[in-house]
Amino acid sequence: MTAGKDAGRGCFLLCRVCFSEYTNRMPRPDKTPTPDQLICDFTGGAVGHRFRFGGGRGQALARAVGMKAGKTPSIVDATAGLGEDAFLLASLGAAVTLIERSAVMHGLLQDGLARARDAGGDVAAAIDRMTLVHGDARVVLASLSADVVLVDPMHPPRKKTALVKNKMRLIREIVGGDEDAVELMRVALATAGRRVVLKWPRLAEPMPGIPAASHRITGKSTRYDVFMVG
């Protein structure tokens, strides 16, 4: 995720809980997040289901990044978070660089990627197309070359299931509110090779301070504002 300093003592206690599995190397049969922890999991839960039954390149995100007519763009996910969107794109064949500046979220991603790679099979093949970078995307983007930059800043809270609301609350406590999202979008627009995709709430007003989107792809609760730049 993009903005905000990592939360204080409470954040480090949360991190300690999250990394208990990583530190002790103990297997966990159920990787569903509990009310007080975050888990980066690419093999089970909603992410695993999406991987197996998500609809391939017909999904809104795949269409937004330009996966059509046999094209597979290179992608930078500038706000990696728990890596769910990056994993979807990698599972569809794209090489994806994930940028995460929160040390806590970066650590969770490292753990999740390692466990998914150990799982082998198609999941590990997708993980091998993912490269994780720890840094501020506003700085890192200038050193990368990619067809597409995906930006998914923290959104205002919305009504959803208790699990999703709790997960987003925990993430927000770690990364903050992404007050510099407009600045990140401007950097993305200046560095992307072909397009920038902004993941945004379906009914929200356009992000202020940036040009109008070239087009949009809209889902049930999320839309993708697409900015063609090359």
217 SS3 class: strand
Q: What is the pLDDT of residue 17?
A: 36
State the residue range of the domain holding 79.
Answer: 9-228
Is 2 inside a domain boundary?
A: no
Is 46 inside a domain boundary?
A: yes
Is 159 inside a domain boundary?
A: yes
Q: What is the pLDDT of residue 32?
A: 47
Q: What is the pLDDT of residue 15?
A: 38
Q: What is the pLDDT of residue 73?
A: 98
**In contact, 147 and 228? CB cutoff 8 Å:** no
pLDDT in tens, the chain (230 residues): 544 444 443 433 343 334 333 333 333 444 444 445 888 999 988 887 788 877 789 999 999 999 988 899 999 999 999 999 999 999 999 999 999 999 999 999 999 999 999 999 999 999 999 999 999 999 999 999 999 999 999 876 555 555 556 777 888 888 877 789 999 999 999 999 999 999 999 999 999 999 999 999 998 889 999 999 98
Structure tokens at 129: 């197309």
Is 3 inside a domain boundary?
A: no
Q: What is the pLDDT of residue 18?
A: 43
Alpha carbons 164 and 82: distance in angstroms, whole number: 13
Alpha carbons 135 and 126: distance in angstroms, whole number: 22
For the chain, helix (H) and strand (E) counts, in that order, are: 10, 7
Q: What is the pLDDT of residue 129?
A: 98
Is 142 inside a domain boundary?
A: yes
Alpha carbons 141 and 25: distance in angstroms, whole number: 34
Is 219 inside a domain boundary?
A: yes
CATH number for position 200? 3.40.50.150
Nearest to 201 by CA among 189, 226, 218, 179: 218
Is 4 inside a domain boundary?
A: no
Is 68 inside a domain boundary?
A: yes
Q: How many domains does the chain have?
A: 1
Neighbour count for residue 228 (Cβ, 10 Å)? 12
Q: What is the pLDDT of residue 226?
A: 98
Residue 24: phi, psi to the nearest 5? -90, -10
